[in-house]
Structure 1
């Protein structure tokens, strides 16, 4: 077996399709550095299935595609084909020549072909295994591989020697077989868990099927009983109906004569009813007018109160403004006094300046001191001038405020006059509305008296009509009593049906204890009937209870012993629990932090205080999860 030729297209530096033929003996490839000698060896390793980009001097597998040059554009794919002479039959295939082709596109798609037939990488690896060909086989010797053979690492030598000895294929098959066995073992474990769960569901469905069949049988029997009972009641009622029909015909004749009289009275009553309707309409209009008057009075009262409040607020504002005006006048008087003091100080300062000037002329030595005194007096005069200007500005502001206050006071006086006028008008309207209200009340009393008289006539007519219908009602009552007798019989049949089918679907031991044993009254009931389950959780709770769902609950241990003795004597089976369960419960496990766990199943079951300890014991460490895989994982991790 030898390589006959190699076809390369688009691989690294090979832009054009290149075919290299290998003759007998040794073929050498010679050329300067960078001409692509190593690319030929890497092309052989790549077409034989090399998956590591670093083994062919690349960062990613797309680097093997021709990337382009200054004069040539990049290619979109790389293809390498190697042809092997198989005339000696070393490859397990019925061909004298075998061509392996590998293609890689820039999109990441990769194809393998064996003699131009698409295949998998695994098919190529199985074909070349133990032949010395392959990406890591000894047929392609690099400089580093010689060091691996002579190194002290036995793993490297062993890998190459196993490839040469032809046992790599068997080791790979053994490794694959072991992986399949481990996967199969895991599937079997999961299958056993699924079988257990399915078995519990089958048991549940079996009990449901038994109940359904029993229900169908009892339904058929019930229909037969109802049919016979109805037939018997029909003939009995038909005999009772004959005298009632005779009496009914007599009453019908009497009723016809009474109906004629009733029609005449009805016409008269209709006339009076129209009169009552007209009176009620008049009364209603008067009531509407009265309501409008009352609303207008309330609205006027509210307006009067609002106007009074605004008036009081304005009076308070006038008082505050008057106080502020008095304060401004006082401040103005003080400012005038300060101005007079400043003018007096100015006169004194001027006299002091004159005296200082004379002293300057007389005493030359005190000139400097006089000049200092003059400067100080000048600064004091400037300060007094500033104060005088500030006082003038403040006086102007206070005068403007006084003018504004006077204007506002005049406006308040005008508003007060308007309020007084409005108040007088409201008082006049109030008196007029009061007069109208008195007249409306008088009309209302008159209308009520007429309405009372008409209602008395109407009630008398109704009484006469009732008397004419009494005989007819007695006949109808007899028919109703007969119908109630039929309904009572049907109710008794339904009660018997519920009693008879109440425990169908349970085991024979439970039915014997509840129906045939002398201890029937000692039991509180069946556990499944003593608890309430949230909607949609019936099957989950029944699966968690198992056979205990149809177990009996007894008030004490003595009742439990009596029941078990009775069941054993009659060769039956039944579960019995004491009401107050005192056995130590298992240690609770908190699984709520685990992904997939919804809530403890106990949260969906409600029970009375008597049976709550028993329910707690049966549902300890039972959780509702999202799926079966989560349940199996929790069962393995928390088997204890």
Structure 2
């Protein structure tokens, strides 16, 4: 395989069609500068497919079209064709994967309406694509970026490069690099294919499962369709049968209507004839009545009236007889009810006699129980006589509690007045305490100042009179003690006043006749002692007591009237 010729048309500096023949062996192209020697090599690179138009010494492909020179007109299209010999080799294979002895690769560019370039590719005048054409050339070892074309400076670069890079160039020229690239691409494609196969397997598995579901759904759908078709057919048959029944009923009704109409006509004729006969009979009756009235005298008329009166009496008697018969029937029903009641009364009498017998036996047993109860009563009286002393004590305590309640009601106003006074006293004591604390703090500051002054005097004037200073110190300490005692007394008065206030409030709350008051507590105590109500345990104040007696006041202040709350076993008491 070798390049036979280069066919150009309006390519760069070549105007029109130009053919450059290339014989086997060594071919040299000579000429002055600008004659197109380099452009012929650019044409070869242009067909083989460079990475960029800059390698062809052009900014874009439109600059590869003949521009008309100085005097000519610029062309609108251009093309470059490489014609290769593709005769079979000794093993019968062709280097180029095209089944012809000569193969031409053409690349053309034309300008569109707006000046945009439009490229086209052809192999042996058959339309092709850039990818297919470059793949066929690459399989034969022809690439634009390969070393099929050795340009200016390539030999020097090859001679001065490192052995490693030179080996890469030789491998590229020998096709090893292309083989490695193809191998890498094949490996990558194989991995992609394997991944795709796995994806397809998963998809196939999923689709098979879905097909099974769809098959089940199809069977159900077909079964549903069959059932629906049968239902539709059954509905059609049902409607048809109903329609036929309706038609038969309509036909029968029509026949009956016709028959009834005929009967009505016949009956109407008979009624008409009967009415005529009735009129004739009425006329005859009127005539007979007139004849009878003319024939009969006054006695006969009276006799007829008596007959009519007897007829009326007979009818009235018949009505009365019917009423008496109904009364008799009602009486017979009442008799049956009375007989039933008599039977029930007889049965009740028998039951009463049995109950009387049982009552007699129960009476005997009750008498015996009564005797035993009398004996138990005597024993209880003896026990009560032994417990009279405790009962008298309880009555005495109850009387005292009642007197205490009466006295508490009478002293309510006085206790309220004492509470108000105690509250005022507490306020006054609080204010006095604040004043005393202020005076105490002031005296403390004065003492500290005097101590500092004494220390200064001892350090500055050791010969001063220490006796006077000691007397002044004792006087201040005595004053401090008095102030502390006044403060303590004021605090005691405040606590006493607060205690009296709390007690007065508790007494005031106890005066009211409310749940938890003294009256209620006394009433509940009586009920508990008498045993009329079970489950009353007592008040909270009776059942609770602080471990430390000093906490009794704090507990009273915290709970207040809650100490009089009643404690029971459950909510049903």
Alignment TM-score, normalising by the size of structure 2: 0.36
